[in-house]
Structure 1
Amino acid sequence: MTEDVVFQGCERMFHSQSARFTRSHAGETGQQSDTRNLHTFLRRKRPRRVWFVAWLLIFVSVFLRGGSACGQSPSNVKPTAQPKETASEHVGSLACAECHKQIYNKYSQTGMGRSMSLVTPEILKAQPTSGSIEDKNTGLHFDVYARDGQLFQSEYELDSNGKEIFRDTRAVKWIIGAGENGLGGLVQQGDYVFQAPLSFYSKAQRWELSPGYELGNSGFNRPILPGCISCHSGRPNALPEGNGHFANRPFSELAIGCENCHGPGLAHVVAHRMGFENVHGHDSSIVNPASLTPALADNICMSCHQTGDVRVLRPGKDYKDFRPGTPLEDTLSILMVPPKRESPPQQDLLEHYYSMTLSKCYRASGEKLSCISCHDPHVEPTREEAPAYFKQQCLRCHNEKSCTLPLQVRERRQPADDCAGCHMQKRDVREISHSSITNHRILTRPDEPFPDIAFQQTTPALPDLIHLNPAPGKKGIPPSALVLLQAYGELVEKHPEYLTRYYTVLDQLERTDPDDPLVQGAIGNRELHAGKYQKAVEHLQRAIKEGHAKTVLYTDLADALVKLDRASEAVQVLKQAADRDPFNAELRKRLIVQLIQVKDHVNARAQMEDYVQRFPADSFMRQLLARVQSMGQAK
């Protein structure tokens, strides 16, 4: 059998697998695959991993409430060049503890104060560290165990005789979550940080697959994204590529700390150490959320506890740019598909602010009720203390006569006389096994219908989306066209009705902001799907040159080059993309296919070997590599 014949067989197998995937996805949506994937360049996630991002965000949010690798794991990823660290205005929570020790000690016991920690021997003594499961969907096995003061997780496969086909074992470096609903783990590979495949569920008291893994096995290659980790650690140093890439020091502060809500503390610390006195009793060197308007105070909470349907950074902004005391809209926009009366919103998770705004309490207060009206972030009552604690918050506005249920009836319930238990019931989180979360709509009764205002929240300037975080005094002003372009692009996959609106905004930006790299990338993608390949190449190359370097731009550019019979150039483009996004399995498969097509079999085989080392659970690629290797041995 000749080398060409073997690699041609590999290529056919690739195309067969790709076709099966495309058909299945088109069937799921009822859309043609070309339409479905028309605007993947707008996603802040890597191709074909859209659902993983949502699952990951849910995972860390729920688990936050309350909450070196073994020799068998690959280690061929070298640290990449890192940007120089700039001087920071942050001082860390320990600096705050010097003067605010009592508050610091209380806060350190809350879910936010324990949101993330290093794996240490001391931590392991308090955590469950043993478990083993089989994923019935994939046939893969997973273990978790502690050894020599470290926590490890393994992914492996067995043949029909029980012999291991492969085993991939990694050290869990960080624990994420405080344990009320569960605990997860993060692993590090060079400069990249990933989620571990197993999580501990407190209610079930066992290790199971991490949320979302039942939809598809990512192994140890689900990247930790900036938009997620920025809410579940104090100061992460995630780089903006959005592929799990971090600075040399991944975290400047692990758990959510004082400065996440009070802003950078350097000026405050310096002022007090130098003996400066407050002017008229107001300390302007630090942000006190209690002194802010309710809207600005809520913006601090919304930065993590409100997702809507899409969150879009403003051009040139990063998640760490948000400063408490400033409008969240200056950093990112949170947008929501308007609910319909026949299908009112049912999501509790990460919709706390939106749910609260629909409550009678919020509307009766003239929009002055805020998150911190009821929640003191420095204090977290125990399960036993919570009913009485939150009842006292209710009694700040209500009284005993406000409740129409007789006191004797209330006291017979367990827990007794529990306002929140009746009016803010916990509901199971359908996305996360063994987890529940509080409904913040503050219902008079469980079947209370949604108020009319829930269906009247769009504006004439933005009639098809709800803008959940407009800057104070600017409710009628929509986000910029660049923000809306990204928002509509991300929504198209689940809401194809936004496709026309997306094109309208793109046409507008082509006239008003033609030089913007995001716009150039969008035009390039449009031209690619219109069959105008030379124009697509020009726009995509320009977008990449100007800094809009998302992986999908490289793959779009490679597709356009192939259509122009410039396959060798396409190979170079895909190599550049793989260097920038080394743990993107689909990207590396495309590179291998392209190498086969240009008959560069030596490098195709080398890429296969590297792929299987990075992604050992991919049985399809293992089979291809075995076929190629057997050819070499036959020679």
Structure 2
Amino acid sequence: MSQNPRSRIRRRLLGRVLVLAAITLIAVIVGTLALSIRGGRKLLPGFGAGAREARDVYAGALYENANPRVAYVGDEACVGCHRAIAEDYRTHPMGRSLAPIDAGRGTPPAGAGEKALFEWNGLQFSAEHRDGRVFHKATRREPGGETLAEVECEVKYALGSGTRGASFLVERDGFVSLSPVAWFAQEGRWGVSPGYGEGSQQTNFERAVYPECLYCHANQVRPVAGPLNRYETPVFRGHAIGCERCHGPGGLHVREDARAASPGRTIVNPASLAPELRESVCQQCHLQGAFRTPRAGLGAFDYRPGLPLHRFWAVFQRPDGSREQSDAVGHVEQLGTSRCFLESEGRLGCISCHDPHKLPEPSAKADYYRRRCLDCHQQRGCSLPRAEREARGQAEDCVGCHMPRLKVANIPHTAATDHRIPRGVPGRDAGRPRAPAGPDARALLVDYFDARRTEEERSAGRRDLGVALAWVSGRLGPKSGLTTMSATQAVPLLQEALRDRPDDRAAGNSLGAALEALGRGPEALDAYEAVLRAAPDDEMALRSSGSLAASLRRYDLARESLRRTIAVNPWRSDYRLALAKILSQAGDWPGALAAAREALGLDPNQPEARSILIQGHLRAGEAAKAEAELQTLLRFYPAGREIWQQWYEDQKRAAAAGGNPL
């Protein structure tokens, strides 16, 4: 029986209404989910004229776990489904980037007693095992072997895979510092840690380890606001770089995909990402540049895989590169200048050659990497005849010829592979690395990511350039002509940023440093004080304010700033020494003596602190105590006996005349 036409029309209309309702319902659900996810977004103010609307650095993510509200779950949650990969990864250098010291890696053989490792700067360094713990010790001895002073600290963590070497971390009340003792595996020797060498002002066991340093060695830490190197305890949440550093947090994945028939977008697979996003995963640690800093309002650990790295980190290069320098983490910059990379149009990346989960066995490395080369060069292999390759001892070793070993400029006793992939004679200079397309060649620094940024991001990035230029002005020193140039360029950029965001502590401290480099001391002091009004415990602003106030002879402010600095970080002998110097300049000799003794209590190897003790006793009329301190100083530094004795006679005359210390 045929249906009534009106009935058919009503049914069609009803069907269309149901379809529209379903579409509307789906849209509402998707919109609700999106709002839920965006509820965890990180909104940052724009910078520059008229750019005041919030921008979401997590917007547009293809993977749901890019949302900052998704929790990290730790490596053990991954092992159940990925056991074989996890076991391989534990042998990879990234899987061994940090370990508790009780694992014994990189330490002398366990056992009772003490083992001398090396001597440096008049000190003998040793390691001792006691009750399952390891202690590093710096000892100063007289020529006859009698101990004059020693500093001992327990080292709790080994930093580094051991492939090139290992450094060791000291942790006291959440403050993390670096031991002066390091192991350099490529030379098979102990030596002084990077940062403690020639020209360094670091004192024993006091080199601060900042979040930006730990980011590329540790799984996760939570910095405490204010101090430069203090962390919530326990300091490390997981130790070595974990699965989630490259794949993103697993909170959604273990909860939802465990029940799903096939994995969704709850965990990142870097191999499936577009080239820029894929390379960002590696670049978060292996792109160093001349200077790098988190973007305004962000911290070192805010980046999530699957997102563009340039939203989170500013990485600056010198426009002309540097032919001489090959940094330990400069592989990204090197690869970016290679012909292989440039002609691949994004196909070539880090994981084209490197398995991030497993290293090839040493005996198989040449063949492994040769096969990676042949993925692109199968039709056109090596142009050298086999006989010539064999004569060089590298018959089937592409890397041996085209990626020679280089000395590393920023870490002594190590070498790295040249990722510029030069052609021709092995080791021949491949030329200067080229800066990214587009930057002004006259600039002191250029942003590595300049070509990828939107106009809004470029506007916001003016602040980051200001921070970088202020850093340059501090590194170059007052006698460099570039100091004035970099500081002059930095000041307006930082002032502009602070107008939009007055609570930007990094910009405020950088503005103070740039103004100080230009000799504008009172203005610099105002900049530091502005930071401290918003963040009274900011260690950088406190110590800078104290030092600058002393140079301006504002001793009351200097004294107060340094006392607050010591309260924020009590483990720095140089802060106590600075306070002793200020108190002596202000004529407060009892206070200066107390501060100098506190400095020596943390590090007895400070001749300036001992000289303040001598001056203080002379001005108090305590000649016997001054003479005793002089004899102690001469025992510590016998090579300068004549100079110190002449200085002592000058100090006695100044004290007798009631003059200032010389």
Q: Same fold (TM over 0.5)?
A: yes
Query: Structure 1 stretch 347-356 or stretch 497-506: which is displaced more?
Result: 497-506
1:33-72 to 2 correspondence within 5 Å?
Answer: none
* Aligned-partner Cα distance in 1 for 2:588–2:237: 44
- Structure 1 residue 432: deviation in Å? 3.6
Q: Secondary structure at the match of 2:235?
A: strand
- Structure 1 residue 528: deviation in Å? 6.3
More RCO (CA 8 Å, sep 6+): 1
1:510 match: 495
2:564 match: 576
* Aligned-partner Cα distance in 2 for 1:530–1:489: 11
Letter in 2 for 1:403: C
Q: Secondary structure at the match of 1:142?
A: strand
Change (3 A) 1:510 1:116: closer
**Alignment pair present for 1:259 and 2:247:** no
**Alignment pair present for 1:604 and 2:592:** yes
Of the three residues 264, 272, 276, the one matched with 2:260 is 276
Q: Secondary structure at the match of 2:301?
A: helix
- Structure 1 residue 549: deviation in Å? 5.8
Change (3 A) 1:269 1:455: closer
* Aligned-partner Cα distance in 2 for 1:151–1:398: 51
* Aligned-partner Cα distance in 1 for 2:96–2:381: 37
- Structure 1 residue 153: deviation in Å? 1.3
Change (3 A) 1:522 1:260: closer
- Structure 1 residue 544: deviation in Å? 1.2
1:236 match: 221
* Aligned-partner Cα distance in 1 for 2:91–2:518: 57
- Structure 1 residue 89: deviation in Å? 0.9
2:353 match: 374
Change (3 A) 1:328 1:389: same
Superimposed CA distance per residue, residues 80-130 of structure 1 (whole angstroms, 9 cap, x where no aligned partner): xxxxxx987111111100110011001111111111111226658996887
1:225 match: 210
2:300 match: 319
1:468 match: 448
Query: Structure 1 stretch 309-318 or stretch 569-578: which is displaced more?
Result: 569-578
- Structure showing greater radius of gyration is 2
* Aligned-partner Cα distance in 2 for 1:128–1:428: 32
Of the three residues 166, 174, 180, the one matched with 1:197 is 180
1:78 match: none
**Please, which runs of 5 or more residues in structure 2 have no aligned partner?**
1-67, 626-662
1:287 match: 268
Change (3 A) 1:531 1:369: closer
2:466 match: 485
1:302 match: 283
* Aligned-partner Cα distance in 1 for 2:82–2:216: 23
Superimposed CA distance per residue, residues 342-383 of structure 1 (whole angstroms, 9 cap, x where no aligned partner): x63542521111111111111111133111111110111122
Change (3 A) 1:454 1:448: farther
The answer to whether the Cα contact below 8 Å between 1:118 and 1:174 also exists between their aligned partners in 2 is: yes
Q: Secondary structure at the match of 1:253?
A: coil
* Aligned-partner Cα distance in 2 for 1:527–1:438: 40
TM-score (norm 2): 0.74
Of the three residues 550, 554, 557, the one matched with 2:542 is 554
Letter in 2 for 1:349: A
The answer to whether the Cα contact below 8 Å between 2:435 and 2:448 also exists between their aligned partners in 1 is: no
* Aligned-partner Cα distance in 2 for 1:314–1:629: 50
1:182 match: 165
Q: Secondary structure at the match of 1:264?
A: coil
- Structure 1 residue 214: deviation in Å? 2.5
* Aligned-partner Cα distance in 1 for 2:362–2:174: 39
The answer to whether the Cα contact below 8 Å between 1:226 and 1:240 also exists between their aligned partners in 2 is: no
Query: Structure 1 stretch 376-385 or stretch 581-590: which is displaced more?
Result: 581-590
The answer to whether the Cα contact below 8 Å between 2:98 and 2:158 also exists between their aligned partners in 1 is: yes
Superimposed CA distance per residue, residues 575-632 of structure 1 (whole angstroms, 9 cap, x where no aligned partner): 1122223334433222112223444444333222221111222233245436757966
1:4 match: none
Q: Secondary structure at the match of 1:507?
A: helix
* Aligned-partner Cα distance in 1 for 2:356–2:601: 45
**Alignment pair present for 1:92 and 2:74:** yes
Of the three residues 516, 519, 531, the one matched with 1:543 is 531
- Using the aligned pairs only, state the percent identity: 27
**Alignment pair present for 1:214 and 2:197:** yes
Q: Secondary structure at the match of 2:72?
A: coil
Q: Secondary structure at the match of 1:175?
A: strand
2:401 match: 422
- Structure 1 residue 387: deviation in Å? 0.7
Change (3 A) 1:259 1:599: same
* Aligned-partner Cα distance in 2 for 1:128–1:346: 38
* Aligned-partner Cα distance in 1 for 2:104–2:541: 46
* Aligned-partner Cα distance in 1 for 2:133–2:161: 19
Letter in 1 for 2:369: F
* Aligned-partner Cα distance in 1 for 2:611–2:552: 32
The answer to whether the Cα contact below 8 Å between 2:494 and 2:510 also exists between their aligned partners in 1 is: no
* Aligned-partner Cα distance in 2 for 1:543–1:208: 39
The answer to whether the Cα contact below 8 Å between 2:138 and 2:150 also exists between their aligned partners in 1 is: yes
The answer to whether the Cα contact below 8 Å between 1:114 and 1:255 also exists between their aligned partners in 2 is: yes
TM-score (norm 1): 0.77
Q: Secondary structure at the match of 2:363?
A: coil
* Aligned-partner Cα distance in 2 for 1:458–1:128: 56
Q: Secondary structure at the match of 1:195?
A: strand
Change (3 A) 1:190 1:417: same
- Structure 1 residue 258: deviation in Å? 0.2
Task: Kindly tell me the number of residue pairs found equivalent between the two proteins.
Answer: 543
**Alignment pair present for 1:113 and 2:95:** yes
**Please, which runs of 5 or more residues in structure 1 have no aligned partner?**
1-85
Change (3 A) 1:135 1:283: same
* Aligned-partner Cα distance in 2 for 1:277–1:426: 47
